Amino acid sequence: MSADDTTRQQTTHEENRKSRILIIEDNEQNLYLITFILQQHGHEVFQARDGREGIRLAAQLEPDLILLDIQLPEIDGYAVARELRSNPQLDAVPIVAVTSYAMLGDRERILAEGCTGYIEKPINPDTFLTQIFESVRNPRAGVSRSTARTAQSHRTPEVDNDQDSDR
Ligand code: MN
């Protein structure tokens, strides 16, 4: 992955900047993958496995970016986003939702709760960084899909096994 990935690295200022990024995600595989991708590009990563921990860490760390899973136990991502946006300290911090195909019907709600944008799971390691920075550059522009999934028909949601494993 790394050799191929090097050729894919973007060279824009934003994407070369090293950021402090908080990931709020309860799925260990996704958490591992996102952490790996971000650390590989030199970003400093902080992890929260539930919404309350995420809210606590966000206030404590004031990160440069928050990646937010929507399907979380106890407090879902909508409530987390709402809470984060009620904290004036975190006003300027982009929140990018990372959400499963099944939740995309709620994209208006994701934005209404204050998220900057959203990325569709499953995560494509080759395009994930680009998707994040596209979302940050074009707030509330809409769904950012991986190139791999763009070609897929939306009539075949069964290819996305994340719905069951997400929680
Ligand atoms: Mn989840």
Ligand 1 center to 41 CA (angstroms): 24
Full pLDDT tens readout for the chain, 167 residues: 444 444 444 444 455 679 999 999 999 999 999 999 999 999 999 999 999 999 999 999 999 999 999 999 889 999 999 999 999 999 899 999 998 866 666 888 899 999 999 998 999 999 999 999 999 998 877 555 554 344 343 433 333 444 444 44
The alpha carbon of residue 115 and the mean position of all alpha carbons in its chain are separated, in whole angstroms, by 10
Ligand 1 center to 74 CA (angstroms): 11
Cα–Cα distance between 150 and 72 in angstroms, integer? 26
pLDDT given for residue 100 in this prediction:
82
pLDDT given for residue 106 in this prediction:
80
What residues have their beta carbon closer than 5 A to ion ligand 1? 26-27, 69, 71, 166
Ligand 1 center to 166 CA (angstroms): 4
pLDDT given for residue 28 in this prediction:
97
pLDDT given for residue 74 in this prediction:
85
Q: Does the domain at residues 2-145 carry the CATH identifier 3.50.50.60?
A: no
Ligand 1 center to 163 CA (angstroms): 9
Do you find a cis peptide bond into 122, omega within 30 degrees of 0? yes
Ligand 1 center to 33 CA (angstroms): 14
pLDDT given for residue 140 in this prediction:
78
Ligand 1 center to 52 CA (angstroms): 14
Q: Which two tokens stand for residue 131?
A: 């998707």
Where are the chain's structural domains? 2-145
Ligand 1 center to 73 CA (angstroms): 7
Ligand 1 center to 59 CA (angstroms): 21
The alpha carbon of residue 49 and the mean position of all alpha carbons in its chain are separated, in whole angstroms, by 14
Ligand 1 center to 17 CA (angstroms): 28
Asked if residues 144 and 119 have their Cβ atoms less than 8 Å apart, the reply is: yes
